[in-house]
Each structure stands twice: as C-alpha cells, then as structure tokens.
Amino acid sequence: DADVTQTPRNRITKTGKRIMLECSQTKGHDRMYWYRQDPGLGLRLIYYSFDVKDINKGEISDGYSVSRQAQAKFSLSLESAIPNQTALYFCATHGRENTGELFFGEGSRLTVL
C-alpha cells in the first residue's frame, strides 16, 4: 500500500500570503490527488494528476494551483490565501490497480486569518 506524506501537518497564515502544501509518496504510483475537507461538505476534489505531464482541475480548483515536480511529488499552492480556504487538505494516491481505492496522507490543516 502507498505511503503518503504531507507537510506541513498544521499551518496558520495570514490573508494574502502564498502557501505551499507538499505531498510525496513512496510507491512510485502515477495518479495523485488533492482534496479539501470542510465540515458538513465532506471531501471535494481540487486537482488531480495522472502523471508528471498530466494535470487536471477538479471540482473546486479556483484559487489553487498544483505542481507535479516528479512522479512521487505533488504540491498544492494557494497564491494568495483567503479565510474561506481554511480547511483540512488531503493528498492521496491510488491503491491496487482497478480497485478504485485511494490511500490518503495524514492531512494538512490550514488556517487563514
């Protein structure tokens, strides 16, 4: 199973600051995802990548950008953070082929003041 690592685990920042959340996985999997979790809304897909040259917008990509620096690394950036981007962010990669499963990192809690 995939080992997904996210940094930072917690971050407090101010409105207008640029923030990068980093994700790496150790299994060499090609597909990676960024989700956002808000109370009462579940998890919603921000961006996903099927390989280094394939980046796709998800359901709520406005205000975010991503970078797939290598097969193992997928970073999420907030160019100018705003308070309604306060949320728990998850990175994920796929499990066994053709199972639909995702394996998640431990999450990055971001607070924008």
Partner 1 sequence: AQTVTQSQPEMSVQEAETVTLSCTYDTSESNYYLFWYKQPPSRQMILVIRQEAYKQQNATENRFSVNFQKAAKSFSLKISDSQLGDTAMYFCAFTRYNTDKLIFGTGTRLQVFP
Cβ of residue 23: shortest distance to partner 1, in angstroms?
Answer: 14
Question: For partner 1, which is the closer residue by CB, 16 or 41?
Answer: 41
Q: Report, in Å, the least distance between residue 35 CB and partner 1.
A: 8
Residues 6+ apart with CB under 8 A from 93: 2, 4, 25, 27, 29, 31, 32, 33, 102, 103
Tell the smallest beta-carbon distance from residue 16 to partner 1 (Å).
Answer: 27
How far apart (Å, rounded) are the C-alpha atoms in residues 89 and 35?
A: 6
Judged by beta carbon, residue 54 or residue 79, the one nearer partner 1 is: 54
Contact set with partner 1 (CB under 8 A) = 31, 33, 35, 40-45, 48, 58, 88, 90, 92, 94-95, 98-104, 106-107, 109
Q: Which residues of 62-95 are buried (b: 16+ CB within 10 A; e: fewer)?
A: eebebebeeebbbbbebeebeeebebebbbbbbe
Measured from the CB atom, the residue of 3 and 79 that comes closer to partner 1 is 3
